[in-house]
Structure 1
């Protein structure tokens, strides 16, 4: 029997936005540490997805759920499904997110509304439902994905910056209420990670160069750079860690 505080054998983790990028890497890392996975994404295949294949290759079970996080009713339905499971959720990773780019003066209001719904409101709805069950059992781990724009304003992404700043605040608010009842709530702030969400920046030679010049690590991050932080915050090693935003940014914020 393992005595490692990072061993997640026997736990059930829900990872939203698990189909690709950071969510894929988080789900993979949790499975490698022993967790069974419920993977969630708006377009996740019912079976045969790349993340399912990776998780099952690691010897863990995988359940796929397709949920549109812009649809409040769909999120509530999914939350109810989780509450009805015989096996409780031990770890909730709120990673699903979206970004809409347009200058603030002409930023479409429907883009603003959609980003806030996906990145903020749906996260609270799901955390509230799963959190109730965790509180009843007196244990659980909730992990949000925030952003460097939880600390900075960004350019032409007002909804994204606002939502990610708000999630940092929500992390602290939930922690204040729940940490004393055995439920830790933390967030991870990825730096500039080479994923679909940052493709526009990667394709802009000037922006990409200026970003790279500021990263002390000397490279863009990879999705799998987030795995260790995710496993740590999901594990018993972090039982006395709550209400933090942990940057994984190659030193960007320290520059």
Structure 2
């Protein structure tokens, strides 16, 4: 009898530990005034994000073990796979194209060249060699309570400018918190590695990498705010409901009938 009870308890614990979960987020854009929901679905090492809140229509799939992400375009019924090799190729191609453009500009009359440089600087920023942005994660010590949970504020400072603000609660305060945190951290590490692999891409330092700071934040962000160059809040995202469920592995693959698109072929 004791063995049966022990076995039953272990099964219950295992079922809880490996339960699939969905997490809902609500994002408000202060520029447009629009508010949108999106859902993240987590199954083991697999993660899918859907803006339609439908696991059958994911917009992005991440496979931690395979170290790849799949971006899906439902309007074109296409998808493309992002991994380190792919991003290195894209970075190399973009760098070569930029060098060719700069060589052509060197042959232009001075006035025309200055005009082109001014236009391109405004649209593309620094077109020289990529420089890795200096990113700082600061735990401020400022505390509050959001949705009944104690939180502490973290600030993300990029090249001296505050870009993001996280109000973080301990993992233990969130249902399935460790599972959710692990998913966030894995995705963040993957995105950071992708950007690091694009060392030849002139604009690599300007690319935003969502979730990349989670390896430095010990907790779950209940509230996230994005800031513009003037320190004004542009977006606010709230961490919503977590629901346990069971998802088929096929839900973490591109929809049937969708065509693979090679992003390295321009």
TM-score category by the smaller chain?
under 0.3
Q: Which has the higher strand share?
A: 2
Q: What TM-score do the two structures reach when normalised by structure 1?
A: 0.26
Q: Which has the higher helix share?
A: 1
Larger Rg: 2
Q: What TM-score do the two structures reach when normalised by structure 2?
A: 0.25
Larger RCO (CA within 8 A; separation ≥ 6): 2
